[in-house]
Amino acid sequence: MKRSEINRLIDEAISFIDSHNFKIPQFAYWTPEIWEEKKESSREIKDNMLGWDITDFGCDDFAHRGLVVLTIRNGNQHDKKTYPKPYAEKLLISDEEQETPIHFHWSKMEDIINRGGGDLVVELWNSNAEEHKLDTPVTVSIDGTRHVFEAGEPVILHPGMSITLVQGMYHRFYAKKGTGKVLIGEVSAVNDDNIDNRFFENLPRFPHIEEDEKARYVLITEY
């Protein structure tokens, strides 16, 4: 991805989040210069990877395979004494038919919440001990109600709805065509994206960045 694209996407994300009257932490606005000034006092932010995370999953096609993420709060799996917080919260933005590829988490259990905008489509698969994707029916909780879906069946989450994804459950999601981009909430156990994503395809979690202009923001991989 180009740095100019990342700068633009974060600017657009801030505007989109604000349009839904969702207020985000001040560190989401910090420039590299402010990060440098606050490098000692912001240690928790850096250690727990709070902040912006823009990815095209190494596919160089962000419009079709990409995700904007802002991690708002998180604990630390590796230093629970210093950071005992057992939960995490993120905002994600997905555009129409912009896929977050099929993956699951070994450690993290999460609720995915449609906080506003269009409809969110989630597709689900069970996995086995060999981490194969199965064709068996998937049982899942949507807003506390039990549902059973066929493997890969599109599950539609309208604004306000949420779905609970357990460890080992393969999933992909995207905004439904014709409904607009979606502001997604994620509430989960503590998250470490360096080690807790099992992609069905062999995809990188973080992008390679081409520095075609000066960075206006700092990504979680750049602390």
The Cα 209–Cα 143 span in angstroms is 38
- Does residue 220 contact residue 30 with C-beta atoms inside 8 Å? no
Contact status, residue 103 vs residue 197, Cβ threshold 8 Å: yes
What element of type H or E holds 87? strand 87-94
Q: What confidence category does residue 21 fall into, taking pLDDT thresholds of 50, 70 and 90?
A: very high
The helix/strand/coil state of 115 is strand
Output the pLDDT for position 48. Answer: 97
The pLDDT, as a whole number, for residue 195 is 94
What digits encode the pLDDT tens for the residues 89-103?
999 999 999 999 999
Considering the domain 3-222, what is its CATH architecture?
Answer: Sandwich (2.60)
CA 1, CA 187: separation in Å to the nearest integer? 27
Residues sharing a CB contact under 8 Å with residue 16, sequence separation 6 or more, in sequence order: 93, 117, 181, 183
**Whole-number average pLDDT of the chain:** 97
Per-residue model confidence as pLDDT tens digits over 166-191:
999 999 999 999 999 999 999 999 99
| Contact assessment for residue 174 and residue 94, using Cβ atoms and an 8 Å cutoff | yes
At 77, is the pLDDT very low, low, confident or very high (cuts 50, 70, 90)? very high
pLDDT value, residue 144: 97
Question: Alpha carbon of 187 to those of 9, 32, 87, 96, 200: distances in Å?
Answer: 23, 28, 7, 22, 23
